[in-house]
Amino acid sequence: ASAYKPEAARVPPALPLPTPPVTKFKIGLCQLAVTADKERNIAHARKAIEDAAAKGAQLVLLPEIWNGPYSNDSFPVYAEDIDAGGDASPSTAMLSEVSQRLKITIVGGSIAERSGDRLYNTSCVFGTDGRLLAKHRKIHLFDIDIPGKITFIESKTLTAGQTPTIVDTEVGRIGIGICYDIRFQELAMIYGARGAHLICYPGAFNMTTGPLHWELLQRARAADNQLYVATCSPARDAGAGYVAWGHSTLVGPFGEVLATTEHEETIIIAEVDYSLLELRRTNLPLLKQRRGDLYQLVDVQR
């Protein structure tokens, strides 16, 4: 065991888990019905956030692409200039206003973002003062082809993000991924090595991969990295061009499903208890057992 060199298994070495600003808090997962009416979607999301906060949620998570249909045809139409803000980005303007008014942290699902001549699938994190804390552009684009089941090529319209996103909030250090990002364990491992307490994945898995992989991947990312994983999907609309699986979920650091739902529109309120992170890491001391003499995870951007 003295030859294992666990500190060398992550380069740079893993950061120690920071002391979170809270030990326990409630998270709200807003599984929203999404329509083609953007103004309605924004108002509907506002109401859901308010309802979650009224039930005690200090962190609220929205779904992937919650302000319009999930389709390559719709992305350019519903895209917003997030950096310009104001009238150029009514979706994020609402998130900023609500987070400040309710004094909560919001991981704003994702929307199509227009930046210059490019479009991105982007998640915005707002702090309790309404300030934009972080912006994550989906790193891994959803380009799949399962004959007879589903074909979707996000890269037809979207550009891939270039930066992993980890952000310190009033409810802990959070890593952000969007949907297909969850399939790539290296990203979650980087977040774990950067001291994340929680990874949030707004996502819209489909009716082909959802039943097989949605819960499996969430539990794997949580168990492998001994942290919390929260996901939020749109509610299922069987008449939509892209049909979401639903099943928004909170998973604990032992890979246990703490709260979940089916496919209907709903708000899940669940408790996150960060004291379990140290407990599980003591129970299973993976950090001390990594074989740095055999393999390494290299965090290129740190």
Q: Tell me how far apart the alpha carbons of residues 228 and 191 are, in angstroms, rounded to a whole number.
A: 11
What are the beta bridge partners of residue 112? 121
Burial tier of 301 (Cβ tally within 10 Å: 0-12, 13-18, 19+): exposed
* DSSP E strands, the chain: 10-11, 24-31, 57-61, 105-107, 111-115, 118-126, 132-137, 143-146, 150-153, 165-169, 172-176, 198-202, 228-232, 249-251, 257-260, 266-273, 297-298
Q: Tell me how far apart the alpha carbons of residues 176 and 191 are, in angstroms, rounded to a whole number.
A: 9
Tell me the catalytic residues: 64, 138, 179
Residues 6+ apart with CB under 8 A from 90: 38, 39, 42, 80
